């Protein structure tokens, strides 16, 4: 049993400025810890920021650098929070959001499930502190690495069409989840950390309940291994522009750089790809395969993915064939915040801010905050 010791004062930062509260203080001899019950009731337990200020910190800390966040709080709200305090509070809040994301797996409550749902996956490197890169291989001249890969899963719908009949992403339909996690298959056959993340997000979005399920990605093997294992029967599509970029690069190698011959050859190959004329596309690459290793690699790549590059068929079915939503997600969700000049992250810090950004950009920050308030009030 805890015994009453007396009253303790503590100064908190609130949206109205500094506020000093006198609270009843209790001490529990069993665990050797003291506590103030009112702190929990007010959402101030273990913190010096009020819930209102913490929410502001979460917003700015997930949007701009911690230094800029501190300046914005002072300039726009008249609240003084140091950049280091913004960093600490934003990362703590991000970890709380990440844990909440694991626990809350209830499906989204939209009444009308789109006929087609898309799941896209991609990865993007972010700069890390030296201690987070120890022993990791990379692309530097000495074989070391300066970055770690953040893997991102995006789910969206595209029921609208433009004047050309191309699917257009439905406004407000995109959700994100991401982290520095491995997608490698485990020895015991259980889902990898990232696969588990993808399964949570697709479950929330009721992906398996859609009439048509589509997986979009670039040529990374881990994407298709994950899709084969966890989404059998889903339509798999390699990003059309990714394939065209491969063909354009091969054209430059065959014809010795950017010139009219390379441009003309690539244009024909792109048209064959668009028209699903794989026979002539493969034949054109085979002509150069012996003399140009890159042509052989591209040919093997296309043959391996032939069921994923049936773009004429996909277009006729009204399906997206571009990972633009996913690439934009990598840039907007990850790049604009975590890849700015001079930034170097710890794994924990990066994952915290990533969780914060994904929550906000997926429209889930408000529901998280409601759950947090209810939990603190309990």
Query: What is the per-residue pLDDT for 31?
Result: 83
The encoded tokens of residue 141 equal 């001249």
pLDDT at 108: 62
Q: Which two tokens stand for residue 316?
A: 């006729």
**Whole-angstrom Cα distance, residue 375 to residue 367?**
12
Q: Can you say how many angstroms the Cα of residue 4 is from the centroid of all Cα atoms in its chain?
A: 47
Which parts of the chain register pLDDT below 50? none
Q: What 3 state SS string does 55-80 have?
A: HHHHHHHCCCCHHHHHHHHHHHHCCC
Predicted local confidence at residue 187, as pLDDT = 79
Quick one: pLDDT at residue 374?
A: 82
Find out whether 273 and 240 touch, Cβ atoms under 8 Å: yes
Work out the burial of residue 26: count CB atoms within 10 Å of its CB; fewer than 13 is exposed, 13-18 middle, 19 or more buried. Answer: middle
Contacts of 123 (CB under 8 A, 6+ apart): 149, 150, 151, 152, 220, 330
Q: For 242-322, where are the E strands, in sequence order?
A: none
Q: What integer pLDDT is reported at residue 107 of this predicted model?
A: 64
Question: How many C-beta neighbours within 10 Å does residue 110 have?
Answer: 12
pLDDT at 37: 87
CA dihedral (344, 348, 354, 357) in degrees, to 10, reads: -100
Note the residue count of the chain: 378
pLDDT digits (tens, 9 = 90+) for 36-69: 888 887 878 878 898 899 999 999 999 999 999 9
- How many other β-carbons are positioned within 10 Å of the β-carbon of residue 225? 15
């Amino acid at each position: 049993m805890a015994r009453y010791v007396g009253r303790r004062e503590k100064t908190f930062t609130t949206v109205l400025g500094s506020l000093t509260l006198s609270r009843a203080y209790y001490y529990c001899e069993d665990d050797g810890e003291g506590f103030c019950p009112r702190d929990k009731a007010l959402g101030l337990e273990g913190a010096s920021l009020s819930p209102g200020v913490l929410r502001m910190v979460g917003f700015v800390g997930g949007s701009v650098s911690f230094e800029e966040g501190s300046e914005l709080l002072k300039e726009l709200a008249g609240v003084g929070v140091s950049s280091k305090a913004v960093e600490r509070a934003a990362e703590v809040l991000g970890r709380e959001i990440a844990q909440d994301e694991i626990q809350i797996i209830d499906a989204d409550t939209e009444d009308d499930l789109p006929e087609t749902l898309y799941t896209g996956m991609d990865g993007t490197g972010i700069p890390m502190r030296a201690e987070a890169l120890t022993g990791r291989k990379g692309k530097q001249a000495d074989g070391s690495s300066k970055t770690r890969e953040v893997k991102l899963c995006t789910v969206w719908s595209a029921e609208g069409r433009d004047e050309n009949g191309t699917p257009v992403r439905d406004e407000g339909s995109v959700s994100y989840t991401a982290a520095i996690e491995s997608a490698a298959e485990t020895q015991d056959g259980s889902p990898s950390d990232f696969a588990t993340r993808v399964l949570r997000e697709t479950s929330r979005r009721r992906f398996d309940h859609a009439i048509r399920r589509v997986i979009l990605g670039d040529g990374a093997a881990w994407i298709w291994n994950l899709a084969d294992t966890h989404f059998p029967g889903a339509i798999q599509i390699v990003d059309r522009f990714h394939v065209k970029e491969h063909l354009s690069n091969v054209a430059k190698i065959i014809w010795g750089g950017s010139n009219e011959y390379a441009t003309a050859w690539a244009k024909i190959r792109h048209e064959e790809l668009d028209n699903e004329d794989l026979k002539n596309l493969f034949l054109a690459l085979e002509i150069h395969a012996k003399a140009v290793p890159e042509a052989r690699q591209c040919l093997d790549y296309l043959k391996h993915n032939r069921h994923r590059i049936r773009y004429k068929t996909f277009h006729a079915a009204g399906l997206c064939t571009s990972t633009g939503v996913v690439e934009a997600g990598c840039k907007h969700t990850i790049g604009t915040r975590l890849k700015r000049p001079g930034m170097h992250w710890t794994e924990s810090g990066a994952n915290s801010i990533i969780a914060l950004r994904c929550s906000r950009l997926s429209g889930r920050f408000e529901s998280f905050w409601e759950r947090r308030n209810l939990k603190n009030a309990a």
